[in-house]
Structure 1
Amino acid sequence: MAASKETRIQYCDLLTPVICDECDGQNDVINYCLQCHANICGECKSTHLETRLHRDHIVLPRTHSEVVKARRSKKIYCPAHIGKEFVTYCRKCKQPCCATCITEKHNGHKFCDLEKVISQTESDVDSLVKDMETKIIPLNEESISKLETHISLYKKSLDDVKISAEKKKLQHIEGIGKRYSAFLSDLEERGAKDLEKMDIKKKEIERNLGNVKSAITTGKKAAVDVSLLHVKDELAEVVAKSMNQNHVMCPGILFFCPSSFHLPSEHETIGTISHFYEEPISKLSIQEESRGAMKSDSDQSTMEAKVFIIIGGFYASSIIGTHDNMWIYNERRSEIDIYDEFFTRIKNIDINFYCSDMAFYGEDSVIAADRSACRIWLMTRSGSITHLPYIKLNCPCICVNDKHQIVAVVTDYDDNILEGEHCMYWNIFVCSFNDLSILQEIENTFSGVYVTQIRQTLNGEYIVAIDNRLVCLSREFESLWTYEFEDRKYAFLGGLHCDKFNNILVGDWHRNEIVLFNIDGQRVRTLLTEEDGICGPLSMDVDSKGRLWIGQRENVLIATYTT
Structure 2
Amino acid sequence: MTDSADKNIKHCEVCEKSSLLKWKCTDCQLSMCLLCTENIHTKFKLAETHKIISFTDSSIRLNPNHCHIHRNQLCCIFCQSCEQLVCPACLSENHSQHNLTEVEDIVKKSKTRIKSLEEHIQNDVQPLCQETLTKISKLQSEEHYRFRSIISLIKRQEEILSVQIERHKEFLLTKVQLQETKIKDTLLQKKKTFMTNIDKMRQMKMFIDNTLQEPDDVNIDYLHRETDEIMKWLSTERSSLSEQINLPMLPIFESTNLNKKVVSKMFGFQNSSLFITFDKSLLSSLSSITRVKISKYSETIYLWMGCNADQKIEKYCILPDVKLEQEISEKKVYDMSITSSGDLLFTCSNDTCLYKTTKDGTSKLRSFAPLFPMAVNVNLEGEIHISLYEHGANKRHSRIVTIDSRDRKEITHYENGHNKECFVCVTRIADDSDSIYFVDALPETLEGRIVAISKTDGKLKWAFDGQLEKRYPFTPSDFVKTQADSFIVADIWNNLLYILGKNGAVFQMIDTTKIGLTRPCCVDIDDTDLLWVALLPTGKHSKTTNIHALRYDLILSHCH
TM-score (normalizing by structure 2): 0.43
TM-score (normalizing by structure 1): 0.43
Q: Which has the higher contact order (CA 8 A, sep 6+)?
A: 1
